[in-house]
Amino acid sequence: MSPPKCHPDDVKFKFKENEDLLVSPFFMTTVASDWCFKNYSDWHGNLASNGKKTVNKLYDEYHSDLVKIKAYSGSPHTIKGFVGRLLNKKHCGGGHNNLLIHTDDQGQSSGKSHSNSDDHSYHTQKDGVTSQAPADARPPPLNLTSNNTTSNSCPSTPNIIDTHPDADDVGPSDTHPPIPSLVSSSDESTVTSTSQLSLSLRAPHGTPFIVDMESDSHLILSLSSILLLQNNNRLNHAMIPFFGDKLHSKIRKHNLGEWNMTLKFPGNALLESIIIAQNLYDETTDRINACASLLLLTNTIDDPIDKRLLVSASQLLQHLPLDATNIEISETTFITRYILPALQPLFDNHERNIRFEFSSTDLADNHKRSSVFNGCPDCTITIFQHQTDDGVNVGFGEVKRQSMAGNHYLVNWDLVRLAVFCKDAIDENKLSGNLAIHVVGEFRDVKKVRVVLIVILTVFYFLGPYITFYLIKLHADGLYIMTELVRLQCPMSVMEVPAYLTNFSRLKNVIHTFENLCKPDNNNGDISSWRRDSLTSTDVTFVLDKKKNRKRKNTTGHYPSK
């Protein structure tokens, strides 16, 4: 069978030898019309009659090269379409005996196994998409296809994971996992009613797709259709081809601009509150008078959000020690004495029937929510629309105390849990948005001091926890964007309160955005087709590297590992 035809203008296309593209020289010396696997294997001279394993491995290299060419920014669009058809045509297989799951131009998955019929095999099917794998392969629980496709239309291409490499390519478990890459699988030559972009997650050289929680949180969230947008353009390296050149940051700024994040806390009230906090630390006034002065200050302003901010400052002055402690704080104390006074007055709103609850609280709609992740978050924000006990969760929070801040595995698990909790609440309760609050304490080993007799004394101290606010919103078909709103440091002592008060304008914008967007919305039309299922905890565990390493670079973190 002849290979798929290329565009007439590109039939003699071949890459230049100086192209910065790590593929076989075959593609630098052979015209595009001859890029079939038979020519590739003949060129390499490895088609021996008894070399079945060699051919299999050669096919993996050929397939990997085609994927790189399709993802390469210097490839013409016609060549990308041609390569896409090569990847999906049966003629390019040369006795390859393992399962290959491809993303074709029609958005369907196809796979074929040549194992004996006596072998046990597994099937996963959803919406007409079926895959089959050999018995020795681990059955993946992942179900990543769109749940809105029909046989009469051209569905969007699902995210595909190739989990079945050749046996001779699988190294020992102690070897480092491959670096995953995002590959565009859209074919511009295919005529569709709407322009769609689908992504396929693949690991190079045919090895299993493995990610780690410490470094690849962006990729793990993308498997649940969540795009994480953080400040300072924090990106996973696999996202750079798609969100480079500050595109990632521009999208975030666009969202913040749409939500009017420009409100200001009154300057006179801010200055007065700073003076009150400073007087308490200098012991020129006592706690009761300082707290009363802040509460009296609320009579001079009209905005209810500004009033709640001053109440929060009053609570902090009442609960915090004058100076930060140097002993480890339990998580219960960390939450109830330091975090709760700062956040609860901001989100508790009896006029709107909103309650903020921390620690040992159950989800208000727990009986409605499927068991995506086990356990409950540390914090919930619940709105009771009809003044009944049947509330809806419009916000979630997770807390990690100082001693666990350097464990990027656990910190990022909290981030993923928050994203999934918020996404599912949006889908099940038809919310406009949902708020995620990620609190991570910070513990630092400051320095080592040499004292008499060459005894090394390690000096420790605790810094205030970082509180990061995210807004999760369903922006488009199959696209949930998790946008970082604000990140600030919560005080651990009265001495740190004056600096914390300078963040009141930023906190005011968070509360304003929360009250406007994090609520049920029945006026947004029927967007049920936009929704996508989330991965379960089993799904995430399946693609995670079994080894944990706190020293891995954390692309979502704000300070180095310990």
Q: Provide the CB-side half-sphere exposure for 315 (13 A, CA).
A: 18
Bridge partners, residue 103, by sequence = 109
Residue 503: alpha-carbon gap to chain centroid: 26
Q: Is position 1 within any domain?
A: no
Q: How far apart are the first and last CA of the chain?
A: 58
Q: How far apart are CA 530 and CA 146, in angstroms?
A: 10
66 and 186 in one domain? yes
- The DSSP code for 552 is S
Spatial CA neighbour of 531 closest among 436, 435, 429: 429
Of 214, 240, 273, the residue at which a domain comes to its end is 214
pLDDT value, residue 186: 38
- Residue pair 216/223 in contact (Cβ under 8 Å)? The answer is no
Q: Is position 250 within any domain?
A: no
The 8 Å CB, 24+ separation contacts for 383-387 are 383/352, 383/353, 383/354, 383/519, 383/520, 384/353, 384/354, 384/355, 385/353, 385/520, 387/353
361 and 501 in one domain? yes
The values of phi and psi at residue 416, to 5°, are -65, -45
- Residue pair 269/263 in contact (Cβ under 8 Å)? The answer is no
The tens place of each residue's pLDDT in the chain, 562 residues long, gives 444 444 444 556 777 766 667 788 888 888 888 888 888 888 887 554 445 557 777 888 888 888 888 878 777 877 877 887 787 764 444 333 333 333 333 333 333 333 333 333 333 333 333 333 334 433 344 443 334 433 333 333 333 333 333 333 333 333 334 334 444 333 433 333 333 444 444 544 345 678 888 888 898 999 899 999 998 767 888 888 888 778 888 899 999 999 988 999 999 999 999 999 999 999 999 999 999 999 999 999 999 999 999 999 999 999 999 998 877 788 888 888 899 999 999 999 988 899 998 865 445 554 444 434 656 788 899 998 876 677 899 999 998 887 777 788 888 889 999 999 999 999 988 899 999 999 998 755 444 434 433 343 333 444 678 999 999 999 988 899 999 999 999 999 999 999 999 999 999 999 999 999 998 887 666 778 888 888 888 878 888 887 887 778 887 876 554 4
272 and 210 in one domain? no
458 and 358 in one domain? yes
Q: Is position 174 within any domain?
A: yes
311 and 179 in one domain? no
Bridge partners, residue 381, by sequence = 356, 395
pLDDT value, residue 439: 92
288 and 191 in one domain? no
Q: How far apart are CA 243 and CA 236, in angstroms?
A: 10
Q: Is position 422 within any domain?
A: yes
The values of phi and psi at residue 482, to 5°, are -105, 100
Spatial CA neighbour of 312 closest among 130, 503, 156: 503
Of 145, 179, 214, the residue at which a domain comes to its end is 214
288 and 208 in one domain? no
Q: How far apart are CA 454 and CA 201, in angstroms?
A: 54
Alpha-carbon torsion angle 359, 364, 365, 367, nearest 10: 70
pLDDT value, residue 195: 38
Return all residues near 552 (Cβ < 8 A) that are at least 6 apart.
212, 214, 215, 408, 561
pTM of the model: 0.62
Tell me the residue length of the chain.
562
Q: Is position 464 within any domain?
A: yes
Bridge partners, residue 486, by sequence = 469
Six token digits for residue 136: 């020795």
Six token digits for residue 92: 């390019």
Q: Is position 247 within any domain?
A: no
Q: Is position 161 within any domain?
A: yes
264 and 205 in one domain? no
Q: How far apart are CA 311 and CA 291, in angstroms?
A: 9
Show the domain range for 315.
Answer: 257-543
Q: Is position 102 within any domain?
A: yes
184 and 288 in one domain? no
327 and 191 in one domain? no
- Residue pair 419/226 in contact (Cβ under 8 Å)? The answer is yes
417 and 324 in one domain? yes
Number of domains making up the chain: 2
Q: Dump strand ranges (E) for 13-142.
A: 102-103, 109-110, 122-126, 129-133
Q: Provide the CB-side half-sphere exposure for 424 (13 A, CA).
A: 20
270 and 156 in one domain? no
- Report CA-CA distances (Å) from 121 to 97, 160, 165, 261, 539: 15, 19, 16, 54, 19
- Residue pair 273/501 in contact (Cβ under 8 Å)? The answer is yes
